[in-house]
Amino acid sequence: MHGSLVFESFAPFPDYYNHLENDVKPVYLYLALDHEYSVFDIERANMAVKKTFKCCFEAAKGKIELFDKHFDVVRLRHLDSFDKLIPIQNEFIKSGIKLKMNTLTHLNNEKGFIQLSKIFNIRELGKGIYVDTREDFHAYLLLPHRLTQKEFEDTTLKVKYNWESTGFDAASGCFFIRGKLKEMVRIYSKNLSIDYLEELRKLYLSKMKS
């Protein structure tokens, strides 16, 4: 929509795609919102939009920290054409989600911090290992306790220094399973075999102790 603020991620899953020059990166767009909405408000609007706008996309509530600014957003993925962006924005507005107008200037390829709140669809693949049943190439490895962002980054760096198999991208997170909060690391890789994920989780657990 003309004048609205939309962010695009130029490097989704950077630790995976930065090593694959010929692989096509997925498109991730973030619609800035006028104020914060609950995950349920976003999901209700998402369901309403999909009823009236026949397009394959996924939406999730999110936050972006950029410089000293904070932006509430709706993350869009699986959008097969940028031509569908404005119609989708209009449908979200009709569903009660107000968009933020653009007040930023000269913003290009900056690094920000993104946090998502979403509903997961997962199945258990092994002990402490889950794979996403709706998003390809996504797996989740349970951790015994929460790590700060600095601790997570340091642990992941240690894991990568000692990892000899296919590359992956990692992010920290948590979700509820049967009413219990579980800390986890989200893994993005096109190799999600049980052997691969078991070895990767074992290495994470080992480096958390070191």
- CA atoms of 174 and 187, how far apart (whole Å): 13
pLDDT classification of 154: cutoffs 50, 70, 90: very high
User: Does the pLDDT of residue 174 top 70, yes or no?
Assistant: yes
Q: What is the mean pLDDT of the chain?
A: 88
User: pLDDT tens, 1-47?
Assistant: 778 999 988 766 666 655 545 555 567 899 999 999 999 999 999 99
Residue 128, both tokens: 């402490």
- CA atoms of 191 and 4, how far apart (whole Å): 38
User: pLDDT tens, 89-103?
Assistant: 999 999 999 999 887
Q: CB-based contacts of 135: which residues, under 8 Å, 6+ apart?
A: 58
- List, in sequence order, every residue forming a beta bridge with 124; answer none if it has no partner: 130
Query: Which pTM value belongs to this model?
Result: 0.86
Q: CB-based contacts of 78: which residues, under 8 Å, 6+ apart?
A: 26, 56, 57, 58
pLDDT of residue 14: 61
User: Does the pLDDT of residue 178 top 60, yes or no?
Assistant: yes
Number of Cβ atoms within 10 Å of the Cβ of 132 = 17
pLDDT of residue 90: 93
